[in-house]
Amino acid sequence: MTKIIFPKALSKGAKIAVISPAGAVEASQLEKGIEMIKSKGYEPVLGEHLYTKFSNGYNYAGTEQERTKDINWALNDNEIAAIWASRGGYGCQHLIQDLDLKNFTKNPKWYIGYSDNTVIQSYLLKKGFASIHGQTIKTSSFGVTEESYELIFDILKGKTPKYSLKSHQFNKQGTIEGELVGGNLALIYALLGTKYSFDFKDKILFIEDIGENFYALDRMIMSLELAGVFNKISGLIVGGMTNMGDEKENKQYEESFDDFAYQLISYRISKYDFPVVFGFPNGHIKDNRPLIIGGNVKMRVEDKVKIEF
């Protein structure tokens, strides 16, 4: 079993690269996040194409070559101590065939992001490096809690998170320990069958998603079923399922744990006996608390739920 490498803790004054590996972003959308990095005593260093726009059926943050140039700079520049994605969207799949880890392997650094960034995090984990599945610099329309960011900075300082949750009607009780994999369900699904897919054997899988019709959610869960994923994993954590069903962004963040999406997932996994947690606060939701992809998780699902790294 490969030993997963955790990047070292950041010291005050450390440089954090801010890049846009996927969708285009406006400078005004990142102002608060960049100021927050400064306020914590770190130096944000902006990627050359952070605010570039390239339209090709979708508004990307630059061409594939431009976005690849920025991420490879951030991964390999020895002065950069961590990498924080500006946002998700779509486009990270364009980059993974050309990622360069030559200097990164000698000087590993935290990669922070979620949504489409699941692709990059899967790639890094295949190479043996942990990453942070947490809030991007750009906050979504539903906002983000201050604690969601504070917990990311705690990880950057070397502290690992511990979470206590209320019980959920669809939870399956049990105690398990294992490596955490996963992220955005649509990207886990998109990588299935490729060499960049997560290794699911004996892992605890985390999934979250946004804006999918229920039949599309079922199709993705069925693909995991047909690929044998549920026969391989030892536990499942289900996070936010936001604006599901009709794809209209008209729900409040309090409704981000979609009951029918949970019911659908619960039905599909009913024949398996691994522990399951529903309602974990991570995903396209306001209370987006970070998880460590590649981290070793202790998960106890009883009347109360304990999850700690």
Summarised one tens digit per residue, pLDDT across range 231-279 is: 999 999 999 999 898 645 444 444 578 899 999 999 999 999 999 999 9
49 touches 69 (CB < 8 A): yes
**Alpha carbon distances (Å) from 204 to 13, 72, 117, 237:** 35, 29, 19, 7
Q: Where in the chain is the domain with CATH 3.50.30.60?
A: 162-308
Render pLDDT for 156-190 as a digit per residue (tens, 0 to 9): 999 999 999 999 999 999 999 999 999 999 999 99
Beta bridge partners of 16: 44, 82
**Identity (one letter) of the amino acid at 206?**
F
CATH number of 15-156: 3.40.50.10740
Could you say which of 20, 115, 131, 234 is catalytic? 115
Domain 162-308, second-level architecture? 3-Layer(bba) Sandwich (3.50)
* Position 199 pLDDT exceeds 60: yes
Token representation of residue 86 = 């500006």
**Beta strands 54-55 and 59-60, pairing class:** antiparallel
More confident residue, 53 or 139: 53
284 is catalytic: yes
**Beta strands 54-55 and 43-46, pairing class:** unpaired
94 is catalytic: no
Which has the closest alpha carbon to 265: 256, 273, 276, 274? 276
In the predicted model, what is the mean pLDDT of residues 80-91?
Answer: 98
Which has the closest alpha carbon to 196: 99, 291, 296, 102? 99
121 touches 183 (CB < 8 A): yes
80 CB-side CA count, 13 A: 25
Could you give phi then psi for residue 184, rounded to 5 degrees?
Answer: -75, 125
Could you give phi then psi for residue 69, rounded to 5 degrees?
Answer: -60, -45
**Beta strands 276-278 and 291-293, pairing class:** unpaired
208 is catalytic: yes
Tell me the pLDDT band of 139, cut-offs 50, 70 and 90: confident
Could you say which of 208, 212, 234, 256 is catalytic? 208
Percent of the chain with pLDDT over 70: 96
Q: Where in the chain is the domain with CATH 3.40.50.10740?
A: 15-156
